[in-house]
Chains A and B, each alone.
Chain A
Amino acid sequence: KAGVTQTPRYLIKTRGQQVTLSCSPISGHRSVSWYQQTPGQGLQFLFEYFSETQRNKGNFPGRFSGRQFSNSRSEMNVSTLELGDSALYLCASSLASGSETQYFGPGTRLLVL
């Protein structure tokens, strides 16, 4: 079974721009969660989508948003990019929402200049 895929793998943007990242979960997985990883803050939860609905949201500003499609693929969007948004953005999928095991994709490394 193919794993979680994320596109693009690397991205360079400038302050003020916006960016959209994509995640395709493992086949059959319906829950997709997004995380931000930085050296200073570690791995932080952004939000979870299940059945096209946002279930939970972490402590991030409204510039961070996401959505999920009927095929469980998910996108996250960051508007008005700031230098501090430079990070590794990770998507993880699980069979269902809740306490299920999550499997991570390779991540998208975003650099904001």
Chain B
Amino acid sequence: QKEVEQNSGPLSVPEGAIASLNCTYSDRVSQSFFWYRQYSGKSPELIMSIYSNGDKEDGRFTAQLNKASQYVSLLIRDSQPSDSATYLCAVNRGTKAAGNKLTFGGGTRVLVKP
């Protein structure tokens, strides 16, 4: 079982719709959770970080974390063609003592069709 799993997609959504991306992780001691967006040929860009159970909203993006189910999701509301990219889920089970232990999922490719 991979440490962080995502559906590779592509997830095709019409412009203006909601895109829903899911991610599961295997290590229960994971401390922090991140969503990055990566355009083709570019480096990952941070969209959202979430540390505690529940929802966190930032503009058109909402991250949801459920540590009991080891599940984190990202909703993109009012999807725009510029949202077409690969979305990477990242889970960090690191601590100040142990250092960074950030693991990425394989990414979900999202296509927003006008």
Which residues of A are at the interface with B, using a C-beta cutoff of 8 A? 31, 33, 35, 42-45, 48, 50, 55-56, 88, 90, 94, 96-107
B95 touches A98 (CB 8 A): yes
B34 near A101 with CB under 8 A, answer yes
The answer to the question of B25 belonging to the interface, with a C-beta cut-off of 8 Å to chain A, is no
Count of A-B contacts judged by CB separation below 8 Å: 73
Dominant SS among interface residues on chain A: strand
Shortest CB distance B67–A (Å): 14
Chain A nearest CB, measured from B103 CB (Å): 7
Question: Within residues 84 to 114 of chain B, which ones have a CB less than 8 A from any CB in chain A?
Answer: 88, 92-107
Assess whether A98 is in contact with B96, with CB atoms less than 8 Å apart: yes
Residue B45 CB within 8 A of the other chain? yes
Given the complex of chains A and B, what is the CA–CA distance between A103 and B49 in angstroms?
A: 11
Give residues in B with beta carbon < 8 Å to A: 31-32, 34, 36, 42-46, 49, 51, 88, 92-107
The contact sample of 8 A-B pairs, CB cut-off 8 A, is: A42-B105, A42-B107, A98-B95, A99-B31, A99-B92, A99-B100, A102-B34, A104-B46
Tell which of A48, A102, A103 touches B99, judged by Cβ atoms closer than 8 Å. Answer: A48
Whether B98 pairs with A43 at a CB distance below 8 angstroms is no
**Bound Cα distance from A55 to B13, whole angstroms:** 41
User: Could you tell me the distance between the alpha carbons of A99 and B100 in the complex, rounded to whole angstroms?
Assistant: 6
Q: Are B49's CB and A101's CB within 8 A?
A: yes
In the complex with contacts A98-B95, A99-B94, A99-B95, A45-B102 CB distance below 8 A: yes
Also in contact, A102 and B102, with CB within 8 A (given A42-B107, A97-B94, A97-B96): yes
Q: Which of B32, B43, B44, B93 has the most CB of A within 10 A?
A: B43
- Answer whether A94 and B34 are a contact pair too, CB < 8 Å, given A42-B106, A106-B42: no
